[in-house]
Amino acid sequence: MYAIIEVGSKQYKVQKDDIIDIDSQGKKEQQKFSINKILLIAGKDNISIGQPYVKGAKLTATVLKNLKARKVISYKYRRRKSSHWKKGHRQLLSRVRIEKIELG
């Protein structure tokens, strides 16, 4: 069984016991939380497609670690103007394990 979930503005295809990095959820390590924005659930013989979300579907996940992504550099340069700037950004992430996918 697998599911397609929406976290923030991104979508992920997940199965039970998968480990994924998602945008920070503001949860502490080893804390469980649920995700209700499930777009699709597919089993061996049936598929449930939401419009936009599957009603009654629930996914339970556990935060394994809070971390930062690699640094992304943004650089802007204007020729002949003696003008440029450089900025760096590290996105906060949560590494989570998918515990359970329920269709209820």
pLDDT digits (tens, 9 = 90+) for 67-89: 999 999 999 999 999 999 999 99
Token pair 């339970």 is found at 60
CA 69 → CA 42, 93, 102, distances in Å?
30, 7, 30
pTM (2 d.p.)? 0.85
How big, in percent rounded to 5, are the helix, strand and coil portions of the chain? 0, 65, 35
- State both tokens at 2: 């697998």
pLDDT of residue 65: 97
The C-alpha R_g of the chain, in whole angstroms, comes to 19
- Residue 30 pLDDT > 90: yes
